[in-house]
Amino acid sequence: MKYGYARVSTEAQDLAAQIERLQTAGCEKIFFEKRSGKDADRPRLQRLLRSLKPGDVVYAVVSDRMARDPFDMLNILRTVTSAGAGLRLLDEPFIDTTSEMSDLVLFLVGWAAKWQRRRILENTSNGRARAKAMGVKFGRKPKLSQEQRREALARLAAGKARGEVAHSYNVSNSTMSATARFRGCIRKRMSHASSYLGLSPTGPPCFPFGAEPSLPTPRVYPRGQVIFLARHVINMLAALLDISLDAATGLARRGLTR
């Protein structure tokens, strides 16, 4: 079944042009909503994704009508492909998971999302560094001064009860636990406990949660197909990452040669 998805950002905007394009493309059922692209809560889109079955195809006019950014587009693509369905964008024909280049499309969108994430982290880190250089302090004011923390840790190491020490400073048990945990007082007691060393008492070693999944390895395509796709990839990167065409060209070259 062919599904269509249309979206505009405000009530004042008109959906008619998008709906007409989707109907011309042969969409049998069209989901539409008037919500900002920055709004993560898009119930009509979520309903569409939940209704997909193997062989279905989702159509949209352009990527920014469906996704907020490369991360969002990557998640949508994964949801669609995991349902056995396909996604096609009318004005961006390079986004077409029904073609033989679907793996390459997923790789490129995933790579763009990963690049954007790195850029955001770098900008955040640089901003924090500049703020610290100007004397800006981050986070809440500590509930205990450095002198009080030293006294509390000494009392805990001497065997005083955590609740008693916390009460004497008028702080919660959790505050005292955090103070002790990150200063190494309680860590000594944990040094030989298998559950704190990342070992499971009944099975193989446990590994830290949060490792990023590796991106799929792209297939090798004929040179002519890659050159044809590259023109569209440049436009996609420029639109999704909000960068110039020259910058997108450089990114596309690096991505396609990896």
Would you list the domain boundaries of the chain?
Answer: 2-116, 146-194
pLDDT at 201: 46
Q: What is the pLDDT of residue 254?
A: 62
Work out the angle at residue 245's Cα, subtended by the Cα atoms of residues 241 and 248, and round it to the nearest 5 degrees.
50
pLDDT at 129: 79
Neighbours of 213 (CB within 10 A): 6
- 8 forms beta bridges with 34
pLDDT tens per residue across span 109-158? 766 667 667 777 777 777 777 877 887 777 677 788 878 888 888 888 78
Please classify residue 84 by burial: count the beta carbons closer than 10 Å to its beta carbon, then call 0-12 exposed, 13-18 middle and 19+ buried.
exposed
State the pLDDT at residue 237: 60
Please report the pLDDT score of residue 198 as a whole number: 46
Which residue is catalytic, options 9, 99, 168, 177?
9
pLDDT at 18: 92
Nearest to 152 by CA among 162, 142, 143: 162
pLDDT score, position 252: 58
CB 205 within 8 A of CB 199: yes
pLDDT at residue 134, rounded to an integer: 80
Contact 37, 5 (CB under 8 A): no
Quote the DSSP letter at residue 139: S
Cα–Cα distance, 153 to 175 (Å, whole number): 12
Whether 177 is catalytic = no
Q: Which helix (H) or strand (E) holds 88?
A: strand 86-89
Q: What is the pLDDT of residue 35?
A: 79
Residues 91, 115, 230: CA angle, nearest 5 degrees: 40
Q: Which residues, given as ranges, of the chain have pLDDT below 70? A: 37-40, 101-102, 104, 106-107, 110-113, 115-116, 139, 180-258
* C-beta of residue 59 within 8 angstroms of C-beta of residue 2: yes
CA distance 96 to 90: 9
CA dist 88 and 98 (Å) reads 7
Compute the mean pLDDT over every residue in the chain, rounded to the nearest whole number.
Answer: 74
**Global confidence as pTM:** 0.48
Token digits of residue 101: 């280049």
Topology given in CATH for the domain delimited by 2-116 = Rossmann fold (3.40.50)
Residue type, position 129, single letter: A
- In this prediction, residue 31 carries a pLDDT of 94
How many CB atoms within 10 Å of residue 226?
A: 16
Q: Report pLDDT for 233.
A: 62
C-alpha to C-alpha distance for 162 and 254, rounded to whole angstroms: 56
What pLDDT score does 229 carry? 62
